[in-house]
Structures are given as C-alpha cells and as structure tokens.
Structure 1
Amino acid sequence: MLTFSLHKRGKGKDWDKGHNVYCLLDATNTKKTLVEEIAKFLRESRISKALMDKTIVYESHVRRFWNSARYDKENKMIHLAVRKKDEKGLDVDLEIKFGVGDLRRVLELGDSDNDPTIIPERLAKGMWCRMGFTGLINGKMLKTSFSNAYKFMMHCVVQSLSHRKGAYDETSDYIMNIITSLVQNRR
C-alpha cells in the first residue's frame, strides 16, 4: 500500500487549503514503506525545499497579489505595492519587486536563467518508459501507470508544485519536465 503524509486539508474562507500542499518526506513518515528510497531521493534533491515548504497561501491573497501586481517585460520583474503598518500603526504602501532569480533563491533551486526549462518531449517520454510507464505513451500521462515509488514522487511534485485544483492523477507537460530533470539530475 502507498503510504505517505500530506498536510491536513481544511477549508479556508475562500479556498481549499489542500491546493499546493507540502509533503512530509521525513524519514520517520516513510521508514519501512514502499516509498522510503524515493522519499530519501526527494529530501536530497534540488527541489526539496519547494516540496516541503509549509507555507499556506490563500486564494484571496493570490487574487489580491495579482490585482495589484504588474509585470515589467523589459526587466522581467514583477512590481507590486503592499500595504503595511509602520511603527506608529499607520498604513504605508511598500513597493516590492522580484523576478525569477528571487524565486529560485528563496526556493533554493540552485539553477539559473540559462538552464533549460523545457526538455524535448522525446527525451521526457523515453525517460518515463525507463521509469516503467505502462500507459499509452502518446496519451494522457497518468500517475497510475507507474510503480508505487514513482507514483509517490509524482504525487509529491503534482501536489506541491502544480497549479491544479483537481485531476491530480494527470501529469501536465511542465510536471513531466520537472520529473524528467529530477530523475536525470538536471537543473
């Protein structure tokens, strides 16, 4: 049986907090399970912080963020104003700007803008075949077509890094790229 732990799901005021949950990959939760080796691999991987970060983000915060944010194409930065209380308790607008490099630094990904973000589909599908994929290679890429260990790895990546709110069994192209890069130890 596939055994793993995810953050308790609960209903928020505006949103299901189960969206983008973190995975508990510690040795205590995965010891003597079918996924012990994959969990160890994920704990030691470049994306471990992104998988195990316990920050809960509410949809209302995301909506508020994008309502006030603007993207600067020339500098590839996101600019926004955040209202904050100063020392006297007065509301002050604080300008914040950040880019992809800042996200990479915060999530400790250890990669750069020069690293490829898209892997050729043929390479990704070939890697999936070597991982034991049993479904139709040109059909939907479903987690259920893998062994339990790889199914667990995909589950963690989809739950933690995907923008999905449903259809967690399907693996989209960008998740396929992340998993292929992870297995091949690419950035």
Structure 2
Amino acid sequence: MAPKVQKDKPTKKTDKTEEQIMSEPRHNMVAFLDLEGKVDDYKEIMQWLRESRINEVVTFPTPVYKSLIKAFWETVKIIEFDGKEVIQGQVHKLNVDISPEILNTVLELQDDANAPFSIPIMCTRGCLLRMKYTGDIFAGQINKANLPLWYKFLLYVLIQCLSKSRAGYDKVGNDLVGLMVALILNKPFSISQFIFTNMKDNLRRTGTRTSGNKFWMYPRFMQMIMNVQHPDLPKAANDILKIDAMLENSLWIFKGFSAKRYKESDPPRKMFASQMMRNQS
C-alpha cells in the first residue's frame, strides 16, 4: 500500500485591505421600505417609517467615494466656531464641516435645536415592557431578537442605518434604544446631536483591535454633506466604497428568526397610533 500523502493545510488569510479594516459594508446602510414588496408582515411598519422624520436619513442612496471618505477621516479634528464644537476634515484642501445644525439640515431630520439626545432610562424600560420585550430590561444591552416583529424591524433599521456599530448587530446599548423609544412615543430627540456625539466618540477610539479603532464612520452621511458643501469634488467610478443596501430577500430570513407572533390586542398598532394620526392630520 502506498504511503498517504500529507496535504498542506490551508492557511488563514489574515492580511486585510485598508478598506476592510477601516470600513464595514453593513454600517450606515440604506433601508428597504418598498411597499410593493411581497413580505406583507412589514408593510404597516414600513409605511410608518416612510411617514416618519427619519425616512430621508435611512433611505437616501448616494454613491460614496472611498478616497473622499478616507481623506476626511484622516484629517478630521474638533474645532470651536462661535462657541460651538465643529468636526472638521479636509478633502482636496477644502474644509468639510460637520455640526449638529449641518447634519439636521442635510439629512432633513427636523430636529428641535433644544431637544435632548437621550431618553431617561426608566422611560426606556417602561416602553420596552409595553412593547412586550421578553429579555432582561435591566441589562446593559437590548437584544432585538426578543422584540415582536414590527419593533424588531424598526430596531434593525436603526442599527444598520444610524448606529455607531461596525459589528455585532443583534445587541444594542441604551442610547440607540432611547432613539427608538423617542420615535415610537413621539418624544423630542435630537438625532443630529446623537450622530455628532457618535462621531466625536469615534475620534477618541484608540483600541488595539479593529473594532476598537477609529474607522470611516457614517460614510453615506459624510458623502451627502460633501455633495452639498463641495459639489464639484472629483469622483471616479473605480473609487466607489461598498455600502450594502437592505434587500427584500433578507426580510424573509429576518422574519424566520423573529420573536413569537403576538396575538393579544396587537400592541404595535396601539403604540404607533399617535404618530399615524399625526401624519394623517
């Protein structure tokens, strides 16, 4: 019998490109809110989102250019202008300024300048109970899998489109849950200040792991602002930065892993009633 030939074991590919290290395609995505889709279970929550003040910020698609985003985040710093903090980066020797006011205008967030960007924890926990959340409301993070389908989809959209996360998309902290609660209860909440604060936190990242390092946060939002402030910046088709968009097929999978169907009095319908009535008036 011939001796067995030992095959070389495949080596793991550890070398990552700069784009793989600094960006994440599932961060700052574009939401799927197509009412003509075939997944009927989502249509009412999609309609609610389309009529909400975050419709533009979660659905506006724009090509994003890697070299522009890279240049911005490599030169970014915090400055003070008229007594207010501004995040400023340079792209082709042009200043790109980011402030809550600029974010509010470009992203069409309709924020009140005096609105808070957090929700009291007791209000958040009370709302989670009303939403029939089945997990531990006292935990430091909330798992979207423990929510009924409508709320799970809403939190999914917020995580993929607005959160500061670049990994771990199942559990979220109280800051993003607070945003969800504010939208559901129609409470004042400054989404622009929420985004601005996340960007400042990104500048302070000094972790040794990829997840702890500064990365190219909110590339879609940054591109939208650059398009307004400097519309003639050079853009090349081979410079596109990959950002995923939600697809209808993913909603079928999403539904398959959803929490149990709730049949008692349909709590989502009650929670969204005030917002729906306001939009119809």
Indicate the residue corresponding to 1:33 in structure 2: 40
Equivalent pairs counted in the alignment come to: 166
Q: Is the 8 A contact 1:101 1:112 kept in 2?
A: no
**Gap regions ≥5 residues in structure 1:** 1-11, 84-92
SS at match of 2:40: coil
The alignment-based identity, stated in percent, is 30
Question: What is the identity, as a one-letter code, of the residue corresponding to 1:185?
Answer: N
User: What value does the CA root-mean-square deviation take over the aligned residues?
Assistant: 2.2
Aligned pair partner of 1:82 in 91, 96, 110: 91
Alignment of 1:92-171 (within 5 A): 93-139=93-139, 140-171=141-172
- Kindly provide the CA deviation profile for residues 19-64 of structure 1, in whole angstroms up to 9, marking residues without a partner as x: 22111102112x5521211111111111111111223657765443
Aligned pair partner of 1:14 in 14, 19, 34: 19
Q: Is the 8 A contact 1:141 1:171 kept in 2?
A: yes
TM-score (structure 1 length as normaliser):
0.79
Question: What is the identity, as a one-letter code, of the residue corresponding to 1:96?
Answer: V
Q: CA deviation at 1:13?
A: 6.9
SS at match of 1:141: strand
TM-score (structure 2 length as normaliser):
0.54
What is the rounded CA distance, in whole Å, between the counterparts of 2:95 and 2:67 in structure 1? 20
Indicate the residue corresponding to 1:90 in structure 2: none
Q: CA deviation at 1:157?
A: 0.8
Question: What is the identity, as a one-letter code, of the residue corresponding to 1:108?
Answer: E
Question: What is the identity, as a one-letter code, of the residue corresponding to 2:172?
Answer: T
Q: Is the 8 A contact 1:81 1:95 kept in 2?
A: yes
- Kindly provide the CA deviation profile for residues 127-174 of structure 1, in whole angstroms up to 9, marking residues without a partner as x: 111111111111231111111111111111111111212211112222
- Name the structure where helix makes up a greater proportion of residues: 2
Q: Is the 8 A contact 2:68 2:91 kept in 1?
A: no
Q: Structure 1 residues 59, 165: closer, same or farther in 2, change over 3 A? A: farther
Task: Tell me: higher relative CO, structure 1 or 2? Use CA pairs within 8 A at least 6 residues apart.
Answer: 2
Indicate the residue corresponding to 2:187 in structure 1: 186
Q: Structure 1 residues 46, 18: closer, same or farther in 2, change over 3 A? A: same
**Gap regions ≥5 residues in structure 2:** 1-16, 189-281
